Chains A and B, each alone.
Chain A
Amino acid sequence: MKEILLVEKPGLLTTVQDLGRTGYQQYGVVVAGAMDSFSMQIANLLVGNRKDEAVLEATIAGPSLRAVRDIVIAICGGDLAAKINGKDAPLWKSVLLKKGDQLSFTGLKSGARAYIAIAGGINVPKVMGSKSTYLKAGIGGLNGRALQKGDVIMGSDAVKTSTIGRMLSPSLIPKYEKHMTIRIVPGPHEEAFTKEGIDTFFSSVYEVTPQSDRMGYRLKGPKISHRKPADILSEAAPLGGIQIPADGQPIILMADRQTTGGYTRIGTVITVDLMYVAQAVPGAKIRFQPVSVQEAQKLYFEQMRIMRQISVGAGIYDE
């Protein structure tokens, strides 16, 4: 275990995240984990980590970090104008950060969240099988909280440098647009809405409001009308679930959602489109499109296949 990074500025909200705390939802333990797990996994693969290793998730305004020793990093996801010693740092590419180098983020060009993977991973204790920070319960990550000025991030002793320069094929780099179409599998409470309500939902544009965070995205747009009460007996609330409370305005449930919820849901965002929601900023416009679960799973396989190819290309066999 070695010191690798000193936090000079924490940024707006920078936390340690992996794929989340699965297996404890029946006990009410929130999953948390990276909002954009695609970028998080690719960042890991580019530096030669297992794809489920913990990374730093920076939000909108990124941190300033000083390398305490030579390390290999990859930055993926949103373009938060990353700089190394003031010069543009490449995204979706594994690079060497030399002892004393400063990694900073100086603006927001596209997306909302950047993922910084460090070769060898981040050394924080696992809580219930995961290194993910869950702020509300104060568990995981760095003492259950976001990064603060003066924090020192610990890494692993053995650092592979053979991955330097490895990059994601440009054709596979996602583009984060301000107008997006998000595919959903309809249900399970479709019968709670009027036909007009469902038609409105699929034919209108919804705007991401500033009341959006790791727990959920509140959207605003034409009201989705119910024909049954908007409250239901509480049941499990899935990642990407789209709740419609009585006011008819959708809320997309994200990584830090509660495990159970008591509002009707009109659909669930498909896995491959979750990253675009995770990278949306307030003001972004979303249109929803229904797909079958079979179609969603075909897209899921395709994404898994791409990640497996990258893993194998990188000599990582973790499945």
Chain B
Amino acid sequence: MEFSIQPLGDTGIIIQFGTEISEAIYQQIRQYVYWLEQSCIEGIVEWVPAYTTLTVFYRPNIISYDELSQKLLKIGEKIESMPVPDPIVIEIPTLYGKEAGPDIQFVAETNGLSEEEVVKIHSSSDYLIYMIGFVPGFPYLGGMDKRIAAPRKKTPRSRIPAGSIGIAGEQTGIYPLETPGGWQIIGRTPVKLYDPQKQDPILLKAGDYIRFVPITEREYEKIEQQVLKGSYKVVKYKKEAAET
């Protein structure tokens, strides 16, 4: 595994695995994170995976830069051949179009497709979560089909409801909380990606995959009720199992 290590001030280390977005590079980061988790190095506070980097934050009074960088290099040397659990696919039930997705017609027209085709294309691939950032729980997703790409809105909306699913250029994403934004909104999920009062406040994790599953208005309402009551369970499965 090839990577380089650099200090990030006196409490961080950045590990660089490559310079371009690719699933292959990202799988190395995922593997590295898994073994970093297993190795329980004392003094590490947390880490943040991103497209081509993994940043580790630590307490220098417990472990110094020199000690930690040695340990991090060693992890890289030995893990190449070590197994990693299969990634998880999380289903995001999505109501496409109409009020929930006011820009779906624009996305369809931009690409010379029907709305149904946009839904079909958008909901037929697994999207890798490269990182979470921007706001709590916002996933940076890879793998959107270029046939449904669409430019951002010229004037951003001042208010996009939580759970909205949008397209910006060749990216797709979900708004975890109500914010302003310029993405073309094509649908909405009743599932909460961010709930600060919960034990696990964030639903998604970098390294897992998302799959959008079209639902009807009735199903949306039913899931919304279950989410409110706290009885809703997201559908998850192993990525490998899904393909066989």
B10 lies within 8 A of A293 (CB): yes
CB distance from B115 to the nearest CB of A (A): 31
In the bound assembly, the distance between CA atoms of A268 and B6 in angstroms comes to: 12
In the bound assembly, the distance between CA atoms of A173 and B10 in angstroms comes to: 23
Give the interface segment out of A19-27, A97-105, A108-116, A147-155.
A19-27
In the bound assembly, the distance between CA atoms of A294 and B68 in angstroms comes to: 12
Q: Is the interface of B mostly helix, strand, loop or mixed?
A: loop
A240 lies within 8 A of B9 (CB): yes
- Chain B residues within an 8 Å CB radius of A240: 9
CB distance from A287 to the nearest CB of B (A): 18
Q: Mark B118-162, 1 if CB is under 8 A from A, else 0.
A: 000000000000011111111010000000000000000000000
- Chain B residues within an 8 Å CB radius of A296: 9-10
Is A233 part of the binding interface, using a Cβ–Cβ cutoff of 8 Å?
A: yes
Q: Within residues 39 to 71 of chain B, which ones have a CB less than 8 A from any CB in chain A? A: 45-53, 55, 57, 60-61, 64-66
Give the interface segment out of B184-192, B200-208, B218-226, B235-243.
B200-208
In the bound assembly, the distance between CA atoms of A239 and B135 in angstroms comes to: 17
A187 lies within 8 A of B6 (CB): yes
Is B88 part of the binding interface, using a Cβ–Cβ cutoff of 8 Å?
A: no
Q: Is the interface of A mostly helix, strand, loop or mixed?
A: mixed
Is A170 part of the binding interface, using a Cβ–Cβ cutoff of 8 Å?
A: no
A137 lies within 8 A of B48 (CB): no
Is A304 part of the binding interface, using a Cβ–Cβ cutoff of 8 Å?
A: yes
Q: Within residues 4 to 52 of chain A, which ones have a CB less than 8 A from any CB in chain B? A: 22-30
In the bound assembly, the distance between CA atoms of A301 and B10 in angstroms comes to: 11
CB distance from B16 to the nearest CB of A (A): 8
Q: Mark A213-245, 1 if CB is under 8 A from B, else 0.
A: 000000000000000000001111011110000
- In-complex Cβ contact of B52 among A23, A233, A260 (8 A): A233
Known: A188-B8, A235-B51. A25 touches B57 (CB 8 A): yes
A234 lies within 8 A of B10 (CB): no
- Chain B residues within an 8 Å CB radius of A185: 7-10
A137 lies within 8 A of B135 (CB): yes
A236 lies within 8 A of B14 (CB): yes
B8 lies within 8 A of A187 (CB): yes
Q: Which residues of B contact A (CB under 8 A)?
A: 6-12, 14, 16, 19, 21, 45-53, 55, 57, 60-61, 64-66, 131-138, 140, 176-177, 196-197, 201-202, 204-206
Q: Which residues of A contact B (CB under 8 A)?
A: 22-30, 127-128, 137, 139, 184-185, 187-188, 233-236, 238-241, 258-260, 267-271, 293-294, 296-297, 300-301, 304
